[in-house]
Homo-oligomer: A and B are copies of this chain.
Amino acid sequence: MTAIAILLFDGVEELDAVGPWEVFSWAAREGEPPVPLSVFTVSRDGAPVTCGKGMVITPDHSFATAPEIDVLLVPGGQGTRPMLKDEEMLDWVRNTAAGCTWVTSVCTGAMVLAQAGLAKGKRITTYHSVVEPMREWSDAEVLSDVRFVRDGNLVTSAGVSAGIDMSLWLVGELAGVDYARAVQQGIEYFPAPPYLYEV
């Protein structure tokens, strides 16, 4: 069983967490995965968290009750800022990551991984407004204009909705590309943004 844990905390950006949740939980529970998968949410104390835009989500587990974790996903959101000085949280992320086969982030979750010392010298990406600041303070090589970056077992996504792309890719790594495509069809992820966008 590969256990995927999505970290929740006050100020987590809703889609950073729920986009990957939808991908992984569809993979684990709706389809018939060629390898067993599980996914759960976890927060420090297991109490309901208030997300960045105000949605209240009750985590599946606290740090104390969480099963062993194989894949860690750290979402972003304004709530990552206080985490950068939260030694208890950084210790948990560091210690959990040490036992993981994959360590991942969405958006500004990359700041937490870097602050925990997990991105030293590695190629990563993050939310567009944080790329330049992270180039200043972090010890990672921060790429821009990519949806996600894999360096070894570290996989970091760009902002918010990019976590969906990254999670589908990871389903392909965990359970095969054919199965990832089945999940893609399950959630009808054939996106078509309605307005043309010129940068």
Contacts and interface: CB of A to CB of B under 8 A. Distances in A.
Interface of A: 13-15, 18-19, 21-22, 25-26, 29-30, 41, 48, 53-58, 60, 107, 127-128, 147, 158-162, 164-166, 168-169, 172, 177, 180-181, 184-195, 197
A30 B129 CA distance: 14
27 contacts: A14-B18, A14-B25, A15-B21, A15-B22, A15-B187, A18-B18, A30-B53, A41-B55, A48-B58, A54-B60, A56-B57, A56-B58, A127-B188, A159-B188, A160-B186, A160-B187, A161-B164, A161-B188, A161-B189, A162-B188, A165-B192, A168-B194, A169-B195, A181-B195, A184-B193, A184-B197, A190-B193
B14 A21 contact: yes
Contacts of A190: 147, 161, 193, 197
Contacts of A197: 181, 184-185, 190
A189 B159 CA distance: 8
A29 B53 contact: yes
B41 A53 contact: no
Contacts of A60: 54
Nearest to A158: B188
A180 B194 contact: yes
Given A15-B22, A172-B194, 8 more contacts: A15-B18, A22-B161, A29-B54, A41-B55, A160-B186, A180-B194, A184-B197, A190-B197
